[in-house]
Structure 1
């Protein structure tokens, strides 16, 4: 079954979506002043977008205060740094050049990947993933758990005599779900201990096990209510993760075209081997990583 967790795991390993903050038309309203230096709403929006993940979980009003505090701290020390002309140092210039390239990369990614994904593409990718999934059987079962084999045999006798399974589970079972009549819901292979699972999948629908099933938990009597092919997760539940997969593929396509058009020469031999191996892996399955959702510090 293509579970939410599977989609999420693949998406996380291969892609983290980038989104630029959205600014209103009057985004440059002044929200604070530090001496003669102004902080505008657009800068505050950027500060909010770049908050530490822990602070990003705060309520909106507290998040704005935390962002404003961070923006003021930045302005204070940036002003002091400018007074010392630190921006003229070679190290600073190199860093600014790198940051410019990274932000251009992010902007290009947004323009040619994020903004180009359509709902139709996402739905088509979902259908493709679903169609490729192997069919997996699930069983819907109830059980009555007791401590001894003799108790389990007595339960079977009472069921043979016409006793209702759910009512008997409420009366006899030691499992915490006894109040639900021993209902375990649907489960697939690998979810239960082997002895229990083997017995459940071998029992016909509408019948119960005629001999006690022993596990480390005790002795079980199992009734099978239904069997089915496991349904896929609803589109609405996983569409965000599927959208990330679509964006990952678009991103990798952009990179591959750019690499084909421009020669990349790695001078260091050890780095060249690692780079070549990484590119082979990317072409085989794709683990290229687009820019992070929030600009890196």
Structure 2
């Protein structure tokens, strides 16, 4: 259920952004009889172009969108003349759109605009405190094709040869020019065999036997081991803000459900609705 709410939340944010864009500029860009096409309408038409046209250059997208908007105005004006504004299907669609836009305005006021920087910071600190501590390793490696080559490199290291120089000379990995430096990495970033060997080694040591992976044979040197630093608020601020917005949205929805009884007539739909709501209630807060 949280996935559904995340999708709804993302859609609401996108729609609100589009509304703000529409209100920002409203110059007339074309006239169709007595009707006009404004810049805001053209922006909407561009935003709703067929995905196949989304790769066009900006100016071509505008032209394609304007062409479609002109077609819409031409037939819309004709439809009004035929009295189609009184058509039940049109009325149903307009009622749905009106409800959706009211929902979006309420969402913007009570969710998007209601989230404060202090709330985001507090949620960030809560999330960081709940993160498990992770060790990270900084390592270098020399990658070769055969086990014999790897064993020979280990012999040269035992004899005092410099690891960086050997990496530049012998490694087949693209990072050989950096002396095989892989930087810092946490568990889950490397293939299992490489990861297991690197995290089992002590700082300053190199592997005494070749490490075989799908890429070939590795000789690994661990340069450093430390506790991984958590992401900063600046790095994850937008994601944390989304979490705060999600919680506000869910709180508003639950309050509205408590105040207004929801009745679903179709039995299958009712059961499905109840099931996803039950899953949401059982899922722990994140």
Same fold (TM > 0.5): yes
Match of 1:235? 233
For residue 209 of structure 1, report the CA deviation from its aligned partner: 1.3
Does 2:175 match 1:177? yes
For residue 105 of structure 1, report the CA deviation from its aligned partner: 1.0
Distance 1:54 1:117, change over 3 A: farther
Does 2:117 match 1:123? no
Offset from partner CA, 1:4-58 (integer Å, 9 cap, x none): xxxxx99965730242224567x44433211121223443344445445665676
Aligned length: 278
1:206 to 185, 204, 217: 204
For residues 114 and 48 of structure 1, the distance between their equivalents in structure 2, rounded to whole angstroms, comes to: 25
Structure 1 segment 1-297 matched on structure 2, within 5 A: 15-16=9-10, 17-18=13-14, 19=16, 20-22=19-21, 27-52=25-50, 61-285=59-283
For residue 269 of structure 1, report the CA deviation from its aligned partner: 1.7
For residue 272 of structure 1, report the CA deviation from its aligned partner: 1.2
For residue 286 of structure 1, report the CA deviation from its aligned partner: 8.8
CA-based RMSD of the aligned residues comes to: 2.8
**Structure 2 unaligned regions, length at least 5:** none
Offset from partner CA, 1:106-141 (integer Å, 9 cap, x none): 111111111111222222222222221112222111
- Describe the SS at the equivalent of 1:205: coil
**Structure 1 unaligned regions, length at least 5:** 1-8, 288-297
For residues 96 and 222 of structure 1, the distance between their equivalents in structure 2, rounded to whole angstroms, comes to: 66
Distance 1:32 1:88, change over 3 A: same
- Describe the SS at the equivalent of 1:259: helix
Distance 1:13 1:201, change over 3 A: farther
For residue 159 of structure 1, report the CA deviation from its aligned partner: 1.3
**TM-score (ref. length: structure 1):** 0.82
